[in-house]
Structure 1
Amino acid sequence: MTSKAYRLVILSLYVAMALILSYIESLIPLPLPIPGAKIGLPNIITLVSLLTLGWPLTLLVVIARIFLSGFLFGGGFSIVYSLGGGLLSLLVMSLLLHFFKDKISIILVSVFGAISHNLGQVIVAAIVVQTTSLLLYFLFLMVLAIPTGIFIGVTARELMRLLGKTTIFSKLNLPQKK
């Protein structure tokens, strides 16, 4: 059985790492004509958290990261948009991992997470500006979500592989891969 204190330490580390990745991402200018497009670096931590802690605790990681990064590097609207994208992405990835855990790769989960993150943000934007014409914008974001989702998925997969060689998560009773 894992102690609550141990889980809290892991949870805090995830929030801190996701916040650091949010900051790093804010420093990386993407040479794209699409405003708001990002790589999604904090989603590496979201995926690792989903695989190690499950969705209820990952929900805390996502919400904490969104509010902290919004207050530190963004603003009120960035929090609203990020919540729309982050929560829809978390829901989709959690459902995929729950129903297809042994049949779907972490890379594909990440791609669906990236697409749903963009969809969530576009839905929030459409509600804010009260127009559905932003759905065309979603098509451009979806094209970008595929390579970024692959990158995030590969990175999370390799991080999980490396973490599996340590004893950090031994108290979390993770399923061992052969």
Structure 2
Amino acid sequence: MNRPEKYIFLALLTSGALILSLIESMIPFPFVAPGAKLGLPNMITLTVIVIFGFKSGMTVAILRTILYLLVAGNVAGFLYSFSGAVLSTIIMAITYKYFNNYFSLIGISLFGALAHNTGQVMTASLMVQNVRIFSYLPIIYLVSLFTGCFVGYATIFIVQNLKKQSQIMKWS
């Protein structure tokens, strides 16, 4: 895959992540934890990390959060999303690069979900200037176990289908 094709594909993936963010914002998650979400855009981020590596994964994650800010206009939501996306992308990329032999994409996604929520709670703590918000982490981590598994399974499905199309080897 040449450079323009790669950029076009990454732009399409970024658009897909933005659309998943918008869809996710419309899905109610009652009785769980306020602000809890499935983490649908992380499927795209993890897929990009697997195919193109850390830099491209981080680019997609950052662009997705900025575009979501422009579409939704929620600055506080942007700060939460941005901090979570950056931290989870870093953790997923490190885990994928160095511990790929020990963890499947499900495990890597779980680490990403935990990191994403940690980043969001850290941001919330700074915004409200209260460390008690960290007591919220156990509940969020419990939710992360389910959402991280879901995202991991979905990412496996996406990557396997890309491999079936014999395109994945050309992209690296």
Alignment TM-score, normalising by the size of structure 1? 0.92
> What are the Cα deviations for residues 34-88 of structure 1, in whole angstroms up to 9, with x where unaligned?
2111010000101100000101011110001001112212511111111111111
The amino acid that maps onto 1:113 is G
The amino acid that maps onto 1:127 is L
The amino acid that maps onto 2:59 is L
- What is the aligned partner in structure 2 of residue 164 from structure 1? 163
TM-superposed CA distance for 1:131, in Å, is 0.9
Alignment TM-score, normalising by the size of structure 2? 0.95
- What is the aligned partner in structure 1 of residue 93 from structure 2? 94
The amino acid that maps onto 1:131 is N
- What is the aligned partner in structure 2 of residue 84 from structure 1? 83
- What is the aligned partner in structure 2 of residue 34 from structure 1? 33
Secondary structure in 1 matching 2:132: coil
Aligned mates of 1:144, 1:153 — CA distance in 2: 14
Aligned mates of 2:99, 2:33 — CA distance in 1: 33
How many residues matched?
Answer: 172
What fraction of aligned residue pairs are identical, expressed as a percent? Answer: 34
Aligned mates of 2:92, 2:145 — CA distance in 1: 15
> Is 1:7 matched with 2:6?
yes
TM-superposed CA distance for 1:154, in Å, is 0.4
Secondary structure in 1 matching 2:131: coil
TM-superposed CA distance for 1:117, in Å, is 0.3
Structure 2 portions without partners, runs of 5+: none
Contact 1:26–1:73 (CA<8 Å) still a contact in 2?
Answer: no
Aligned mates of 1:68, 1:20 — CA distance in 2: 10
- What is the aligned partner in structure 1 of residue 121 from structure 2? 122
TM-superposed CA distance for 1:168, in Å, is 3.5
Find runs of 4+ consecutive structure 1 residues off by over 2 angstroms: 167-171
The amino acid that maps onto 2:26 is L
The amino acid that maps onto 2:158 is L
Aligned mates of 1:170, 1:102 — CA distance in 2: 19
Secondary structure in 2 matching 1:40: coil
Aligned mates of 2:135, 2:102 — CA distance in 1: 32
> What are the Cα deviations for residues 155-178 of structure 1, in whole angstroms up to 9, with x where unaligned?
1001111111013434214xxxxx
Aligned mates of 1:97, 1:170 — CA distance in 2: 17
TM-superposed CA distance for 1:33, in Å, is 4.7
Structure 1 portions without partners, runs of 5+: 174-178
TM-superposed CA distance for 1:142, in Å, is 0.5
Comparing 121-130 with 71-80, greater Cα deviation is found at 71-80
Trace 1:140-151 onto structure 2 (pairs within 5 A): 140-151=139-150
Comparing 121-130 with 66-75, greater Cα deviation is found at 66-75
Secondary structure in 1 matching 2:31: coil
TM-superposed CA distance for 1:7, in Å, is 1.1
Q: Evaluate the alpha carbon distance shift between residue 40 and residue 112 of structure 1 in structure 2; reply closer, same or farther with a 3 A threshold.
A: same
